[in-house]
């Protein structure tokens, strides 16, 4: 089963949808960490969600979803970029112990908020924030669309530690294109019948056929997805510079150099004392050829 996302729409209606399936990219995220099963499943749902939102909003840039909670799971974050690359991470609150058995979304994250950041290649960065007022990740994201995009949107998300998948339906505001007044309610009611094993185990066209074989559905070419990280020597250097010159020089006096690594992909980066001084003197200086 390929890692891909596929757009579809119902002819002569103002209803459109996206369906996503992830296996290899999801596996790549999990192999870099050692999270309990409950966290692995939530990360899978979040990866599916960030892919769905990126394609739905049609963003030419980076989109990230951060779940900031006050429970034992303090952070869940997933990010996509224009090349169809996905990455994700979780952070467990200090002195907290995650249960080994399956636990609900709200039990893990507690109170908090979801922050969705749209960072286009051109134009201004946008950030939307919604409270964790629903029992599921999909419910919280639906609230985001209702509040920020003002478009009726429904999501179905699933993950089992091996595969992740998601389905999104959205009703567009252009009622003039809609020649079927019951299309939205009917498409949502049919999607509510989908089983987790179908969303995770069947090919996307088979899922759409099972749900909508009595509807006129136009299916577009799928887009491939994969794991990918946006870290780089320059981006990590930018993060180091925020510590300030005094703290960086204190670290250099103690250690002689600075070694750090990306939390997402675990790539390691090395900065000599000369590198740090060059960055402090000229933050826009190019990176060395080899590190």
What pLDDT, in 10s, does the model give residues 200-255? Answer: 999 999 999 999 999 999 999 999 999 987 777 787 788 788 888 888 888 888 88
What is the H or E stretch that residue 281 is in? helix 273-281
**Which residue has better confidence, 280 or 218?**
218
How many CB atoms sit inside 10 A of residue 178's CB?
17
Tell me how far apart the alpha carbons of residues 84 and 64 are, in angstroms, rounded to a whole number.
13
Helix/strand/coil for 82: coil
Does residue 65 carry a pLDDT above 80? yes
CA-based end-to-end distance of the chain: 37
Q: Mean of the pLDDT values across residues 275-283? A: 79
Tell me how far apart the alpha carbons of residues 112 and 67 are, in angstroms, rounded to a whole number.
8
Give me the chain's average pLDDT, please: 87
Does residue 54 carry a pLDDT above 60? yes
Which pLDDT value is given to residue 175?
67
Q: 98 falls in which pLDDT band (50, 70, 90)?
A: low
In tens, the pLDDT along 7-31 reads 999 988 999 999 999 999 999 999 9
In tens, the pLDDT along 149-164 reads 788 999 999 999 999 9
Helix/strand/coil for 48: helix
Helix/strand/coil for 47: helix
């Amino acid at each position: 089963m390929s890692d891909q996302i596929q757009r579809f729409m119902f002819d002569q209606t103002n209803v459109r949808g996206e369906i996503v399936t992830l296996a290899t990219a999801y596996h790549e995220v999990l192999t870099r960490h050692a999270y309990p099963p409950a966290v692995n499943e939530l990360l899978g749902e979040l990866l599916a969600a960030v892919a769905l939102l990126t394609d739905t909003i049609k963003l030419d840039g980076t989109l990230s979803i951060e779940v900031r909670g006050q429970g034992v799971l303090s952070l869940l974050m997933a990010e996509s970029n224009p090349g169809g690359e996905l990455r994700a991470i979780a952070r467990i609150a200090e002195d907290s112990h995650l249960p080994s058995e399956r636990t609900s979304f709200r039990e893990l994250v507690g109170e908090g908020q979801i922050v969705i950041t749209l960072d286009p290649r051109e134009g201004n960065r946008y950030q939307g924030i919604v409270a964790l007022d629903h029992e599921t990740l999909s419910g919280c994201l639906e609230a985001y669309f209702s509040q920020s995009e003002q478009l009726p949107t429904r999501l179905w998300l699933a993950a089992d530690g091996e595969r992740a998948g998601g389905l999104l339906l959205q009703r567009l505001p252009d009622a003039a294109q809609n020649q079927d007044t019951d299309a939205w309610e009917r498409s949502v009611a049919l999607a509510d019948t989908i089983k987790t094993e179908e969303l995770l185990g069947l090919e996307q066209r088979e899922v759409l056929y099972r749900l909508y074989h009595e509807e006129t559905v136009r299916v577009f070419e799928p887009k491939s997805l994969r794991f990918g990280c946006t870290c780089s020597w320059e981006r990590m250097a930018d993060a180091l510079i925020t510590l300030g010159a005094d703290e960086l020089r204190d670290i250099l006096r103690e250690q002689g150099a600075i070694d750090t690594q990306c939390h997402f992909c675990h790539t390691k980066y090395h900065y000599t004392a000369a590198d740090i001084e060059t960055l402090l003197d000229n933050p826009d200086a190019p990176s060395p050829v080899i590190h």
